[in-house]
Amino acid sequence: MIFEVAMSENVRVISKKLGELLVEREIITQGQLDEALAKQKETRRLLGELLIDMGYATEEEVMVCLTTQYGLPYLPLESYEIDHEAIKGVPPELARKYKFVPIDKIGNVMTIVASDIVDASTKAEIEKLLNCSVQLFITTPTALNKAMEKYY
């Protein structure tokens, strides 16, 4: 599911909510936030998804605010050149199961990109399976899906 967040001890949460960050950055207005929050109560959908569907924010704007909120780095995957050796080092079934794409490997550190925040136990499992440390970046679900289709 898009914008699902799993907490870990490695994630730093700031006190501002997604809607507050979007208003503060002038991406949406307070009125648009109020409208989306009212709709959220009716539908029980995630706020970020609603704002995108309503045309008030882009997928990238929401993801940048979410990564800010959780203290994780955002990577616009469309403009990043993925190392083919990193791709070869990760079995397709592993990448599909955990919904990530490896983008680089330097020494014993594999850099991966996902569209959901990976919890500590999942990260540890990926590290064990890959036999290396993992550095996580976040991107949009659309960019991740395109990369998954292209490389896997």
Give every residue of the chain whose pLDDT is below 50, as ranges.
1-9
The reply to whether the predicted model has a pTM over 0.85 is no
Structural contact between residues 72 and 63, judged by C-beta atoms closer than 8 angstroms: no
User: Do 98 and 135 belong together in one domain?
Assistant: yes
Q: Which domain holds residue 123?
A: 77-151
* 132 and 91 in a common domain: yes
| Domain membership flag for residue 5 | no
For 80-88, the CB contacts below 8 A with 24+ separation are 80/113, 82/147, 82/151, 86/110, 86/111, 87/151, 87/152
In this structure, the answer to whether residues 57 and 109 fall within a common structural domain is: no
Same domain, 52 and 34: yes
